[in-house]
Amino acid sequence: GAAGSVAVTAPMPGKILGVKASAGQAVKKGDVLMILEAMKMENEICAPQDGTIASVQVAAGDSVESGDVLVTMD
C-alpha cells in the first residue's frame, strides 16, 4: 500500500504480538495500533494523532528494531 505522511515507528527492539489496525481504518489519537513485546513486557503502540491507517508494515510474529516503521497514517 501507499505510505502515509505520518510514520509510527518502534520505540524499542522487540517482537510484534498482535496487530490491531488495518489499512483504511480510521483511528483516533491514543488508539492501540499494535502490541510490541520487549523485555518480557507488552507495550501498546498507539496512534500519535487522529487519522486513517495508510499501510501496515509488519505482521504478528515479526521482530523489529528501534526506529522501524510499523504503520503509516494520513
What's the mean pLDDT when you consider all of the chain?
A: 95
Cβ atoms within 10 Å of 72's Cβ, excluding its own: 21
pLDDT mean over 12-36: 97
Report in angstroms the alpha-carbon separations of 30 from 61, 63, 65: 23, 23, 22
Inform me whether the pLDDT recorded for 23 exceeds 80: yes
With 70 as the cut, is the pLDDT of residue 1 above it? no
Query: Do 4 and 54 touch, CB atoms closer than 8 A?
Result: yes
Q: Which residues contact 14 (CB under 8 A, 6 or more apart)?
A: 36, 37, 38, 39, 43, 63, 64
28-47 tens-digit pLDDT = 999 999 999 999 999 999 99
